[in-house]
Amino acid sequence: MTIQVQKSFGGRAASMGQGTLFLVGTPIGNLEDMSFRAIRTLREADLIAAEDTRQTRKLLTHFEIATKLVSYHEHNKAASGPELIRLLKEGSSIALVSDAGLPAISDPGADLVRDAAAFDIPVVAIPGPNAALSALIVSGLPTERFQFAGFPPRERKVLLRWLEELKACTETLLFYEAPHRIAKTLRAMLDVWGDRRIALVRELTKRHEETARGTITEALELLELHPPLGEYCLVVHGADPLATRSNGLSETRWWEDLTITEHVRHYESESGDRKEAMKRAASDREVPKRDIYNAYITEAAEKDESESEE
């Protein structure tokens, strides 16, 4: 296999008559954060592909950019993506933007980048604002290592499992969350992770920008007093690395002293689904699910027999 090396400017793609896909960062609230290079790129591109054309039209109007605008989003990417790739292969330059911030982060732009790279089409980043990193640097939490996890799952059962998978991460964790779900997500974090340090950052770069620093419990108390407004970035302290190392056995084999029935019931109390609980217990113990089922039935029968004798 030969590694693919991209020469972003004046390389083989240009000599073959192919265009360039520009990933253009746009303001996350404050229009003064728009860079000179981003404005020039949007003006010079043959086409601008936008997640929400109505939102992007406001930006283009403000900066007097007349470039043709087309729609590219999650619901039309299957049809729009191949057409954009065709235009790029024929030599058109295309600027991709999201509603705000850097494109291709938690949005379908990543698919377009993948497809362009597969055809040796240059993909060039035009750096700009990013909500997650902006929240991280004002959070007061460690910045040496961090993990961006995007939007948490909506369904509680899936959310708890997802948080369990992140529980042992020692990196600072970054999330996006909507105002109507933030309290539910924080309560789930408290249940799974305990009362960690957190920063709630909202309305970044806008007039009502606010950063609340404290514990998860204190954050929930704040939301009780002041109902959440605006999109949030959550910055959460990672697991204590010393505790993780010293309690490595308990972190990875916390269930070791439980019977199989107790193990299954622990997960069942979280999800309400016994079949799923058995599947997770089997995964923990690295045994077939049927072994968990048989042991569970046997233990339950023995317990019932013991209670009847009493």
Q: For tokens 């997500």, what's the residue?
A: 185
Exposure letters 191-214 (e unless 16+ CB within 10 A, then b): ebbeebbbbbbbbbbeeeeebebe
What confidence category does residue 308 fall into, taking pLDDT thresholds of 50, 70 and 90?
A: low
Q: What is the DSSP code (8-state) at residue 4?
A: P
pLDDT one-digit tens code per residue, 109-137 = 999 999 999 999 999 999 999 999 999 99
Closest residue by Cα to residue 260 from 230, 298, 213:
298
pLDDT one-digit tens code per residue, 12-63 = 555 568 999 999 999 999 999 999 999 999 999 999 999 999 999 999 999 9
pTM of this prediction exceeds 0.85: no
**Tokens of residue 159, six digits:** 């959310």
